[in-house]
Chains A and B, each alone.
Chain A
Amino acid sequence: MTPARRTPIFTWAMIIVWLVFASVPLWIEKVGLYHYLGVEILIFALYALAYNLVLGHAGLPSFGHGAFFGVGAYAFGLAQFNIAANLWICLAAAIGAAAIAGALVALFISHRRGIYYALMTIAFGQIFWFIAVKVHSVTGGEDGLLKIERLPVDLGLAAFDLTTNVALYYFVLAVFIVVSFLLWRIVHSPFGRVVKAIKQNETRARFVGYDVWRFKAAILVISAALSGLAGGLFSMAQASAFPDVMSLHYSGYVVMMTLVGGGLVSFWGPVIGAVAFFLARDIIGSVTTGWMLWFGLSFVVLVLFKPEGIAGIYQSLMQRRAKASAPAVAPNAQGR
C-alpha cells in the first residue's frame, strides 16, 4: 500500500490565477480593452469552472447548463423585486433556485450517461428556456427582466457600492476566489474521488459499493447551484436578465469554453477557455461579424486533434521539454 497523496490546500497555479485576475483592472484599459470585459470574463470563468464539475470531473456531458445560469439570473432579479433588495439574499436566491432546478433535472437523468445524458440535458435546457420566453408576466419574455440593480455589498460594519465596473469586478473576484477554492477542495475530497471513479468506470464504482445515482445527482446539483450564482452575478453586471443565456447556443458556449481551455485535463482549463472565448469574441469580432464561425472552426479542429485543449497543449509541451532535459523525471501534470 502506498499512502494516499495529499493534495496541497493552495497551489502555485491557484495563487497565480488569483493574482493575475487581481491585477487585471490595473492594465486592462492600457491594452485597449475595457473593465466590463473583465467582469464578463470572470463571471463566465466561474460558470465554466462550475460546469466543468459535470463535464470534466464527472464525465457527464450536459448541454443544458444555460438553464441553471438563467434560473440564477432570473432568481436574482425576482428576489430583488419581490423579497428584499439585499445582495446576500438575492445571491442566496440565485443559488437556491438553480440548485432546485438542478435537483429536478437530476431526478430524471442521474441514472444516465453518455449520449442519453447529453440529449436529456438538451431537452431540459429547452424546457427552461421555453418557459422563460413564454411566462411573460414573470420573466418579461423576450424583452427580459429589466432594471436589476447592482446592490451594495453590506458587510455589517461597512458597505461597498458596486455601481462602477471596477468595484463590481473586485466583488466578482472575491466570489471567484471563494468558489474556485471550494471547487478545488470538492474535486480533491473523498467525494470528488468517488465522482472521478464513477467517470472512469461506473459499473465498477457501483460494485465497490457506492450509490452511483446519489453521487451523480449531487455533483449536478452543486454544479447547477454555482452556475446559478454566476447567473445571478451576470444579471447584476448586465442590470437585466434575458432568456437567451438559457438557449442551446449559450449552453453550448460554456461547453466550448470548458473544452477549448482544457477542462478535460486541467482544473484551471475552463478559466483559460473563458478568457480565450471572450478575447476571441472581441478581437476576431472587431475584424469580422462572423467571429463565431472562426471560433467554432477552431473548436472543431481542437476536438478532432487535441480534445485536451489549450491546457493539454501546454502540458504536452512541458512534458516534451522535461523529457528532453531530464528523462528520469515524470512530470505530474494531472490536477494542476
Chain B
Amino acid sequence: MSFINLLPHLLNGITLGLLFSLIALGFMLILGLMEQINLAHGSLFALGAYFAYALCAARLPLPPDWLAVWAGVPLIWRFAAAVIIAPILVAPFGLILERLMRRTYGRDPLYGLLLTFGVAMVIEELIRVVWGTPDYMLPVPQEISGGFIMLDLIWSTYRFWAAGMAIVAMAVVWVIVERTRFGAMVKAGAHDSEIVQALGIDLTKLRVWVFVLGTMMAAFAGVIMAPLWGIRPHMGVDAVVPAFLIIVLGGVGSFWGAAIGGLLVGMVVGLSSAYASEWSMLSMYLLLLLVVTFRARGLFGKKSVLEV
C-alpha cells in the first residue's frame, strides 16, 4: 500500500486520537486530584452522545408544540446546540458522582474502583431503560457531512470537523490547565494536596470543579464521536479503556503526555485498520503491553498514585 493511500487512515487515526486524548485528559485530571480512577468516565461520554441524539433528533420530553418548534430549527443549529448543551446536561451526573466518591477519598483505591464501576453499570442500565438497546446514528447536518475528493482520494468531511472541534477543545483545556490560577491549583493539588490545603485553598471545591470539567470534556468527546462510532449502550466501555491506556502510555500528570499518547493510540489504530480493519482495536492493546513492559511509567510519566 502506497503512502498516499494511507493518508485517509492516518487522518482517521488522528481524529480518533484527538478525541481519545480529550477523554483521557479529563480522566487524568480526576485521577491526579482525587487519586481515584473513575471507571464511570466512559459512561459520562456515552451520556453525552445520547443527549446529543435527543437534541439533534428532537426526541425530548417536552410538550409537543415546543418540540415541533425545536424540530423546525435547521439541523445545523440543533447540532451546534447539542455540542454545547449536551456537556452541560451531563455535568450534573458528574456532580452526583463526585458527591458519592467523597466517601472513598483517602481510603483503599479498591473502593473508588468498585464504586465507579457500579455507577458505570447503573448509568449504562439507565441508558437501556430510557433509550432501549438499539443502535442510533446521530443525524449530522449536510453542511459538515458527506465527502470530497482530494489527491484522487475520498475524504470524509465530518472527520475534519471532528478533528477541528477536538483541537479547539484541547486548546481550551490547555489554557485552563496551563495558564490560569485554577489550573495551577489543580496541578499543585495533584502534586501535594496537604500543602495546597495548608495554603488555604478549598480542596473540596476544587475537586468539584475538576470533576465537572472532566465530565464535560468526556461528554463533549461523546457528542463529537457519536457520528463516527454510532450510539449504543456499551460505547462507554469502548471509550474508557483507550483513555486509561493513553494515561499509562503518556504517563500520569502531563498534558502533552496525554495529547501525544492519544495521538499515538489513534494513529496505531488508524494505520492498522488499513491492513487489518477487523483487528485494529487489538493493536492498541499490543502497544500497551509493549509500553508497560519496557517503560512502566509511560513516556512522560512521573511517580503517581498508579504505583502505590
In the complex, the answer to whether A303 meets B114 with C-beta atoms within 8 Å is yes
| Partner-binding segment picked from A1-9, A115-123, A223-231, A265-273 | A115-123
The distance in angstroms between the C-alpha atoms of A63 and B109, with both chains bound, is 14
Residues of chain B within 8 A (CB-CB) of A123 are 241, 245, 285, 288
Residues of chain B within 8 A (CB-CB) of A122 are 241, 244
CB distance from B11 to the nearest CB of A (A): 24
In the complex, the answer to whether B100 meets A290 with C-beta atoms within 8 Å is no
Question: Of B103, B125, B237, B289, which contacts A304 at CB under 8 A?
Answer: B103
Does B137 belong to the interface (CB within 8 Å)? no
In the complex, the answer to whether A293 meets B122 with C-beta atoms within 8 Å is yes
In the complex, the answer to whether B122 meets A300 with C-beta atoms within 8 Å is yes
CB distance from B100 to the nearest CB of A (A): 6
In the complex, the answer to whether B37 meets A63 with C-beta atoms within 8 Å is no
Residues of chain B within 8 A (CB-CB) of A289 are 129
Residue of chain A at shortest CB distance from B279? A134
The distance in angstroms between the C-alpha atoms of A259 and B118, with both chains bound, is 11
In the complex, the answer to whether A256 meets B118 with C-beta atoms within 8 Å is yes
Does A171 belong to the interface (CB within 8 Å)? no
Does A296 belong to the interface (CB within 8 Å)? yes
Residues of chain B within 8 A (CB-CB) of A126 are 241, 285
> 1/0 per position for B287-300, CB-CB distance to A under 8 A?
01100110000000
Known contacts A63-B117, A299-B118, A115 near B100 by CB under 8 Å: no
> 1/0 per position for A44-70, CB-CB distance to B under 8 A?
000000000000000101010000000
The distance in angstroms between the C-alpha atoms of A290 and B306, with both chains bound, is 35
In the complex, the answer to whether B111 meets A300 with C-beta atoms within 8 Å is no
Please report which residues of chain A, range 252-309, place their CB below 8 angstroms from some CB of chain B when the two chains form the complex. 252, 255-256, 259, 289-290, 292-293, 296-297, 299-300, 303-304, 307
Does A34 belong to the interface (CB within 8 Å)? no
Does B128 belong to the interface (CB within 8 Å)? yes
> 1/0 per position for B265-308, CB-CB distance to A under 8 A?
00000000000001101100100110011000000000001111
Does A190 belong to the interface (CB within 8 Å)? no
Residues of chain B within 8 A (CB-CB) of A114 are 108-110, 306, 308
The distance in angstroms between the C-alpha atoms of A130 and B269, with both chains bound, is 14
Does B154 belong to the interface (CB within 8 Å)? no
Does B126 belong to the interface (CB within 8 Å)? yes
Residue of chain A at shortest CB distance from B286? A127
Does B248 belong to the interface (CB within 8 Å)? yes
Known contacts A127-B282, A304-B103, A307-B114, A252 near B293 by CB under 8 Å: no
Does A113 belong to the interface (CB within 8 Å)? yes
In the complex, the answer to whether B248 meets A108 with C-beta atoms within 8 Å is no
Please report which residues of chain B, range 110-150, place their CB below 8 angstroms from some CB of chain A when the two chains form the complex. 110-111, 113-115, 117-119, 121-122, 125-126, 128-129
Residues of chain B within 8 A (CB-CB) of A256 are 118, 121
Does A317 belong to the interface (CB within 8 Å)? no
Does A248 belong to the interface (CB within 8 Å)? yes
The distance in angstroms between the C-alpha atoms of A248 and B113, with both chains bound, is 14
Interface size counted on chain A using CB atoms at 8 A: 35
Does A174 belong to the interface (CB within 8 Å)? no
Residue of chain B at shortest CB distance from A304? B103
Residues of chain B within 8 A (CB-CB) of A293 are 122, 125-126, 129
Does A131 belong to the interface (CB within 8 Å)? yes
Residue of chain B at shortest CB distance from A253? B121
Residue of chain B at shortest CB distance from A248? B237
CB distance from B265 to the nearest CB of A (A): 12
In the complex, the answer to whether B37 meets A119 with C-beta atoms within 8 Å is yes
In the complex, the answer to whether A304 meets B100 with C-beta atoms within 8 Å is yes
In the complex, the answer to whether B281 meets A130 with C-beta atoms within 8 Å is yes
Known contacts A61-B113, A126-B285, A293-B129, A303 near B293 by CB under 8 Å: no
Known contacts A130-B281, A300-B115, A115 near B122 by CB under 8 Å: no
CB distance from B272 to the nearest CB of A (A): 13
Known contacts A118-B113, A122-B241, A304-B103, A299 near B121 by CB under 8 Å: yes
Residues of chain A within 8 A (CB-CB) of B117 are 63, 252, 255
CB distance from A321 to the nearest CB of B (A): 27
Known contacts A119-B244, A127-B282, A300-B100, A292 near B121 by CB under 8 Å: yes
The distance in angstroms between the C-alpha atoms of A289 and B125, with both chains bound, is 10
> 1/0 per position for A118-151, CB-CB distance to B under 8 A?
1110110011001100100000000000000000
Residues of chain B within 8 A (CB-CB) of A292 are 121, 125
Residues of chain B within 8 A (CB-CB) of A120 are 292
In the complex, the answer to whether A59 meets B282 with C-beta atoms within 8 Å is no
Residue of chain A at shortest CB distance from B100? A304
Residues of chain A within 8 A (CB-CB) of B305 are 115
CB distance from B19 to the nearest CB of A (A): 19
CB distance from B302 to the nearest CB of A (A): 15
CB distance from A333 to the nearest CB of B (A): 20
- For B113, B248, B282, the residue with the greatest tally of chain A CB atoms inside 10 Å of its CB is B113
Residues of chain A within 8 A (CB-CB) of B115 are 300, 303-304
Residues of chain B within 8 A (CB-CB) of A130 are 281-282, 285
* Chain B residues in the interface with A (C-beta under 8 A): 36-37, 100, 103-104, 108-111, 113-115, 117-119, 121-122, 125-126, 128-129, 234, 237, 241, 244-245, 248, 278-279, 281-282, 285, 288-289, 292-293, 305-308
* Chain A residues in the interface with B (C-beta under 8 A): 59, 61, 63, 108, 113-116, 118-120, 122-123, 126-127, 130-131, 134, 248-249, 252, 255-256, 259, 289-290, 292-293, 296-297, 299-300, 303-304, 307
Q: What are 11 contact pairs spanning A and B, CB under 8 A?
A: A63-B113, A63-B117, A118-B37, A123-B288, A130-B282, A131-B282, A290-B128, A293-B126, A296-B119, A299-B114, A303-B114
